[in-house]
Chain A
């Protein structure tokens, strides 16, 4: 809980919900007749709406990227280290927008919302949405905010896939794309991890084929297990070793199957706290959106041809110890952009935190992002 708001914080923020009455046609063929989009903004939109930056959240993220909702908040938004006055994404100059993705569980329409056609909770009947669908819904938001062109579209992991899709599908609507700790498609191993997570959720007896809310229960075990697995893959062996090692909770071994090592205790805590704040159907949906993302599929698997439409300049960043979205995956994106003659900068950051590094205030990472965003700001002033 902040006793006072730090000077480099965006301060207290209030989410805004936009109700859209016109239908959104989805990749799966179905459409949402009407839907809500919840978002937050930080900083001020300038008179020609040229200083807007779109932030895309990752799998379990939401629209609360920076600042505090109240003085009682224990923690600020998920990317507070990068967004704020005089921070890498400087709200003194930029108008920052972050939206909860459709299918989410934090305020945008998703499985926990009421289906207007039935008057009941969507639950598992909520259509599977894709990265393209999210981009299309963000176009609706941009239009509502009168933002014709983003100064930058930024994301890490799944969020970076959205930034890529923006650049590919709507080349005139962004000047810069920041693609952090991502891939142009998931590897088989990555899909496999997602499938284990989904299996954990679906095999929980309280899952009820996704209709758990009608049974007034939650698939706590399954979702918690999915989170544990995810969490392990987002960290590196080195980071986990440094943080927990083989440290025991008590001094001696119990010769039992209870929690003994600190890492076990940590994972259990992570899973319990996650279950309280996240919806299982949303988790299933988000992992599917990840699995399906493959923009080159429509271009004969030729990534260079896929990115040929891009007009934005790109900054691609990877982290050395990230084995879920390894530097090689980022290099594939960079190689395609180079081969297509696009403007691109690529940095591989030395970091031992694994995939989660993209959320951390690693000095070199922040320096590179700050310097790049200074160019984004310079471009706004030029135009």
Chain B
């Protein structure tokens, strides 16, 4: 089974034998893939339809609501906490981010970049809420209630003393182009960050 490209990038960033927590682990594809490399841990998922698939693929999955934070996990108890395409769907992304860097020695966060030029154009000239491949829903039924741009995310990290160790900002085909390299907030559609909390 081939892995979705953003999950492939995340997978490449995680060394063999790590202990991981995958928040919003979907149908367990990433965790299942990581398990083949001796990477252990848990997935958290609230969606009933995906949950049974996780079990079928032999992934340890906990039904939990990310809006409640991660109180069941001790500080720095995972090598990596992964949050892929879910940050924008939680009630308080700032609170969850704090929890993530508390529980994980490092974290990998992936989110759709709302600063992409197509989003800007749709709002500026079209006068309507943007829709795209990664944000296909209408404004009234979207689960994506806290969209942010690459710039917004950088600022949140700065505010919370979170350092960015690595980042990959790519287009939908998960390629980096001259545009995504020079002006990531304008040309990047999907942002992946590897972060850690700076010692206070």
Residues of A within 8 A of B (CB): 313, 315, 331, 334-335, 338-339, 343-348, 350, 364, 367-368, 371-372, 374-375, 378
Contact = CB atoms under 8 A, between A and B. Distances in A.
Given A335-B72, A338-B72, A346 B55 contact: no
Nearest to B56: A371
B55 A368 contact: yes
A372 B42 contact: no
A334 B62 contact: yes
B177 interface: no
The interface size bin for chain B is 10 to 19
B148 to A, nearest CB: 30
Given A367-B52, A371-B52, A343 B60 contact: yes
A374 B62 contact: no
Nearest to A344: B60
B55 A338 contact: no
B143 interface: no
Is chain B's binding surface mostly helix, strand, loop or mixed?
mixed
Nearest to A364: B48
Contact of A345 (B61, B72, B73): B61
A14 B48 CA distance: 39
B103 to A, nearest CB: 11
B74 to A, nearest CB: 6
B187 interface: no
A150 B195 CA distance: 43
Contacts of B60: 313, 343-345
Contacts of A313: 60
A267 to B, nearest CB: 33
A11 to B, nearest CB: 29
20 contacts: A313-B60, A331-B72, A335-B72, A339-B72, A344-B60, A344-B62, A345-B54, A345-B55, A345-B60, A345-B61, A346-B61, A347-B63, A350-B48, A364-B48, A364-B52, A368-B51, A368-B55, A371-B53, A375-B56, A378-B58
